[in-house]
């Protein structure tokens, strides 16, 4: 899922060390098929941003000039259209800040993004829009389910934005939301633009794969290793020097710096004040009202149940790994920076699954083609690559989507898969423009993108992916399908705009596919021989799947508990000591002194605040949804079609519990989740 982390480029650093930025194609004389123009100059971006805000202001004033008690459902639809027009007009100028290879474009786009965010805060808390929504909610004749759900979203949204408050309190909430936006923006900017590295000696480089070392900058003393998500996995499992791994972990856990700790601390205080002004006793209570879970109590109860069962499991996994480490002649306890290295070694010896060997079966091109092939078959859609692609950076690929049965065009998507300096630093689906019914009755076609940071190919060799990277791609592509195959009539209710604690469920469900032998054969092709993954290797990979369930899920429960704790304990809770206290209590490893990992915990400064539990929560739904595929066939197009119709198409027009019940033919139950992670009730 795309995390709405904010950024722009304020730090003047050397331009693009990776994929340096040649000028994009010249401004096309005709608009691209998508209708989106990615080739605007910084001046043009700024101008189109300001023009969009002016147009939106004029549109709202025209609608809101009439008294609210005369408003009809049509008035609310007009408000929705004004907002959707604004979002569409600012999608590119306000979206290139974490995509463009050009620093000046990123800067202009970041400025636009900030203006757009601030303006949205103003609109959401506008008492006149709230008055229209409140009035329309008393009228009959609103079409169900999309119309009534739209009214409900506006009423609850207005309340949560403080639109019903007196002018002074409203002014204060608007200022606080804007302050929060600024803090979140600066938090993300710092992470996207800082360059964190460690130096290693030629001896320390010896245990790293040659293809990895080939990409490192060489110095007189050795090599410089970039410390980020694109190197973390490869470095931590291969580097044989404990001291080098420790340096890496400390650098990784120090990203964001003390300034991001302070921003998070300030954000917690701002959120707490906001919650109280809006009539909630904590930020967590405020956030949960708009979610499936509804109350912090329900979340706490799930976290307690799960973590109680998981910690003993995690501790026994670590104990076994410590024995293994000691048996290799390395005495003493297992540290955090030892975990990946020894886990990989144990895996290689006990299960003989060599991560480097598995990578040989996942060359990028084959993975992309076969994953796209699976989605096409399963969901009844056809993708066609567009050449030349019309995009924001060299190397980004563009595709059209059509409905296979009817031949009807549906929309477009982009694949932007490799790192560049200044680019978004994770792997996510970016819904660029949602679908919706336009005022003339036509349907606006959606546009979405996968933005990722796969390892770069080295000279003459294709990039090879780990199984985990393949799963991530499959997961994110599942979000992309949600954000392009939805048929919801309103942007507010479109695609992935579902309840935030449900949004991960469809993609978490899809991850199960990447553990099925028939699917693994389909997505693999040895880079030298073209053979699919052999049966015995697949068997070992599957045997391995649950090896670290305790460690992994206790980590997830810890992140979720940290998030809930700092957002339900008042404004003064110390975000730094709370991290270390809870980590010690809930996970097998104490925190590493000298680090402050919360400074790079982008989720809680990018829209997942008091919401991180959603990964675990929605996993419960995911595993239950998957049971129908298990029973009726993984690549059964009839089940795929039902999934598209019951889960993906409605977007937020139908509540998640009802979507799942429609698909399964019964209410959700958590059995599949518990048995999947080895908890017997």
C-alpha separations of 414 from 27, 317, 378 in Å: 19, 40, 20
Q: Which is closer to Zn ion, CB of 98 or CB of 239? A: 98
Instruction: Select from 191-199, 300-308, 487-495, 499-507 the region that touches Zn ion (CB under 5 A).
Output: 499-507
Known catalytic residue at 355: no
CB atoms within 10 A of CB 85: 18
CA nearest neighbour of 537 among 335, 348, 301? 348
Query: Residue 427 or residue 663: which is nearer to Zn ion going by CB?
Result: 427
CA nearest to 407, candidates 386, 388, 380, 428: 380
Give the integer Cα–Cα distance in Å for 554 and 317. Answer: 12
Looking at beta carbons, which residue is closest to Zn ion? 1
CA–CA separation, 475 and 472 (whole Å): 5
Tokens describing residue 368: 């992309």
Minimum distance between the CB of residue 553 and Zn ion, rounded to whole angstroms? 16
Sheet-wide strand order for 217-218: 197-200, 223-226, 217-218
The neighbour count for residue 276, using CB atoms within 10 Å, is: 15
* Residue 163 makes contact with Zn ion by CB under 5 A: no
Shortest gap between Cβ of 475 and Zn ion (angstroms)?
6
Min CB(266)–Zn ion separation in Å: 28
- Minimum distance between the CB of residue 479 and Zn ion, rounded to whole angstroms? 5
Q: How far is the CB of 268 from Zn ion (least distance, A)?
A: 25
> If we measure between CA atoms, which residue out of 464, 544, 475, 550 comes closest to residue 513?
475
- CB atoms under 10 Å from CB of 238, counted, come to 18
Region of 15-23, 50-58, 282-290, 507-515 interacting with Zn ion (CB under 5 A): 507-515
509 belongs to the binding site for Zn ion (CB under 5 A)? no
Nearer to Zn ion, 42 or 500 (CB): 500
Tokens 């003390």 -> residue: 258
Please state the three-class secondary structure of 39-86 as a single string.
CCCHHHHHHHHHHHHHHHHHHHHHHHCCCHHHCCHHHHHHHHHHHHHH
Q: Toward Zn ion, which CB reaches closer, 88 or 563?
A: 563
The residues, any chain, with a CB within 8 Å of residue 167's CB and separated by 6 or more, are none
117 vs 507, which CB is nearer to Zn ion?
507
3-class DSSP assignment, residue 198:
strand
Q: Which is nearer to Zn ion, 160 or 479 (CB)?
A: 479
Q: Toward Zn ion, which CB reaches closer, 213 or 428? A: 428
Contact set for Zn ion, span 410-449 (CB under 5 A): none
Asked if 486 touches Zn ion (CB under 5 A), the answer is no
Residue 453 near Zn ion by CB under 5 A: no
Pair type for strands 397-403 and 223-226:
unpaired
| Residue appearing with tokens 């608007």 | 174
Nearer to Zn ion, 81 or 483 (CB): 483
Q: Does 616 bind Zn ion (CB under 5 A)?
A: no
Please work out, in degrees rounded to the nearest 5, the angle formed at the alpha carbon of residue 653 by the alpha carbons of 651 and 655: 90
Stretch that binds Zn ion, among 391-399, 438-446, 505-513, 544-552 (CB under 5 A): 505-513
In angstroms, give the least distance from the CB of 621 to Zn ion. Answer: 13
**Near Zn ion by CB under 5 A, which window of 96-104, 250-258, 329-337, 503-511?**
503-511
The CB-of-615 to Zn ion minimum distance in angstroms stands at 8
> Using the rule CB under 5 A, is 234 a contact of Zn ion?
no
Residue 230 CA to residue 235 CA, distance in Å, equals: 10
Q: How far apart are CA 18 and CA 527, in angstroms?
A: 24
CA distance 90 to 70: 31
Task: Select the residue interacting with Zn ion from 484, 507, 568, 592 (CB under 5 A).
Answer: 507
Q: How far is the CB of 478 from Zn ion (least distance, A)?
A: 8
Restricted to residues 239-298, the positions that interact with Zn ion (CB under 5 A) are: none
Q: Site size for Zn ion, by CB under 5 A?
A: 3
Spacing of C-alpha 395 from chain mean position: 22
C-alpha 19/C-alpha 280 separation (Å) is 48
Nearer Cβ to Zn ion (314/471): 471
Output the CA angle 364-391-97, nearest 5 degrees.
100
The least distance separating Zn ion from the CB of residue 608, rounded to whole angstroms, comes to 11
CA distances from 338 to 57, 242, 557, 606 (A): 56, 7, 22, 30
Residue 1 near Zn ion by CB under 5 A? yes
How far apart are the C-alpha atoms of 681 and 679, rounded to whole Å?
Answer: 6
| Contact yes or no for 503/481 (Cβ under 8 A) | no
Residue closer to Zn ion by CB (options 1, 213) is: 1
Tell me whether residue 36 or residue 503 sits nearer to Zn ion (CB atom).
503
Rounded to whole angstroms, how far apart are CA atoms 658 and 643?
A: 13
Q: Which stretch binds Zn ion (CB under 5 A): 18-26, 384-392, 406-414, 502-510?
A: 502-510
Q: In degrees rounded to 5, what are phi and psi of residue 443?
A: -110, 120
DSSP string, 351-402: I---HHHHHHT-BHHHHHHHHHHHHHHHHTEEEEEESS---SSTT-EEEEEE
Cβ distance to Zn ion smaller for residue 361 or 427: 427
Question: Is the dihedral angle over the CA atoms 69, 73, 78, 84 positive or is it negative?
Answer: positive
Distance between CA 667 and CA 662 in Å, rounded? 8
90 half-sphere exposure, CB direction, 13 A CA radius: 29
Task: State the minimum distance, in angstroms, from the CB of residue 503 to Zn ion.
Answer: 7
Q: How far is the CB of 643 from Zn ion (least distance, A)?
A: 17
Stretch that binds Zn ion, among 304-312, 504-512, 541-549, 660-668 (CB under 5 A): 504-512
Rounded to a whole number of angstroms, the minimum distance from the CB of residue 679 to Zn ion is: 23
Catalytic residue among 103, 300, 476, 522: 476
Catalytic residues, by residue number, are 476
> Applying CB under 5 A, which residues contact Zn ion?
1, 504, 507
């Amino acid at each position: 899922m795309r995390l709405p982390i904010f950024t722009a480029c304020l730090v003047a650093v050397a331009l693009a060390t990776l994929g340096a930025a040649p000028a994009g194609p010249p401004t096309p004389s005709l608009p691209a098929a998508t209708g989106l123009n990615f080739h605007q100059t910084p001046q043009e971006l700024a101008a189109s941003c300001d023009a969009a805000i002016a147009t939106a202001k004029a549109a709202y004033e025209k609608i809101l000039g009439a008294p609210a008690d005369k408003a009809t459902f049509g008035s609310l639809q007009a408000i929705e259209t004004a907002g959707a027009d604004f979002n569409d007009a600012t999608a590119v100028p306000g979206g290139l800040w974490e995509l463009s290879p050009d620093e000046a474009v990123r800067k202009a786009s970041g400025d636009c993004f900030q203006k757009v965010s601030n303006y949205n805060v103003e609109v959401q808390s506008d008492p006149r829009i709230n008055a229209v929504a409140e009035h329309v909610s008393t009228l009959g004749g609103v079409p169900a389910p999309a119309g009534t759900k739209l009214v409900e979203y506006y009423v609850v949204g207005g309340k949560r934005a403080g639109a019903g408050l007196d002018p002074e309190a409203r002014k204060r909430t608007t200022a606080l939301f804007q302050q929060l936006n600024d803090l979140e923006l600066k938090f993300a900017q710092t992470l996207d633009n800082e360059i964190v590295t460690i130096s290693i000696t030629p001896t320390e480089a010896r245990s790293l794969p040659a293809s990895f070392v080939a990409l490192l900058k060489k110095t007189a003393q050795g090599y410089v290793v970039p410390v980020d998500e694109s190197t973390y996995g490869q470095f931590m499992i291969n580097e044989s020097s404990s001291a080098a791994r420790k340096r890496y972990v400390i650098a990784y856990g120090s990203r964001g710096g003390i300034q991001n700790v302070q921003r998070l601390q300030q954000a917690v205080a701002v959120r707490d004040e906001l919650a109280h002004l809006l009539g909630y006793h904590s930020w967590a209570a405020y956030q949960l009202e708009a979610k499936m879970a509804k109350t912090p109590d329900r979340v706490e109860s799930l976290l307690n149940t799960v973590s109680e069962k998981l910690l003993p499991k995690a501790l026994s996994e670590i104990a076994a790994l410590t024995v293994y480490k000691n048996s290799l002649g390395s005495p003493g306890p297992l540290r955090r920076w030892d975990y990946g290295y020894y886990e990989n070694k144990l895996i290689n010896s006990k299960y003989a699954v060599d991560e480097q060997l598995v990578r040989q079966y996942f060359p990028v091109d084959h993975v992309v083609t076969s994953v796209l092939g699976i989605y096409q078959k399963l969901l009844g859609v056809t993708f066609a690559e567009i050449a030349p692609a019309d995009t924001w950076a060299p190397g980004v690929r563009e595709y059209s989507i059509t409905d296979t049965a009817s031949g009807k065009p549906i929309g477009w998507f982009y694949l932007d898969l490799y790192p560049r300096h200044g680019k978004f630093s994770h792997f996510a689906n970016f819904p660029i423009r949602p679908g919706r019914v336009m005022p003339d009755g036509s349907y606006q076609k959606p546009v979405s993108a996968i933005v990722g940071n796969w390892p770069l190919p080295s000279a003459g060799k294709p990039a090879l992916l780990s199984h985990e990277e393949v799963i991530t791609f499959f997961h994110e592509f599942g979000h992309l399908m949600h954000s392009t195959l939805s048929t919801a009539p309103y942007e507010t209710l479109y695609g992935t705009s579902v309840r935030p604690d449900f949004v991960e469920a469809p993609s978490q469900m899809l991850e199960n596919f990447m553990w099925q032998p028939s699917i693994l054969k389909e997505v693999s092709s040895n880079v030298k021989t073209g053979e699919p993954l052999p049966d015995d290797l697949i068997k070992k990979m599957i045997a391995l799947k649950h090896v670290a369930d305790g460690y992994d899920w206790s980590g997830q429960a810890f992140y979720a508990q940290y998030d809930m704790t700092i957002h339900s304990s008042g404004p003064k809770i110390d975000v730094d000591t709370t991290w270390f206290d809870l980590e010690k209590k809930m996970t097998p490893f104490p925190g590493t002194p000298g680090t402050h990992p919360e400074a790079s915990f982008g989720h809680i400064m990018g829209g997942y605040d008091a919401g991180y539990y959603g990964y675990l929560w929605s996993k419960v739904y995911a595993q239950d949804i998957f049971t129908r595929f298990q029973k009726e066939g993984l690549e059964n197009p009839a089940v795929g079609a039902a999934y598209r119709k019951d889960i993906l198409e409605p977007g937020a027009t139908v509540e998640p519990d009802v979507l799942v019940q429609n698909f399964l033919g019964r209410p959700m139950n958590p059995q599949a989740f518990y048995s999947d992670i080895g908890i017997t009730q």
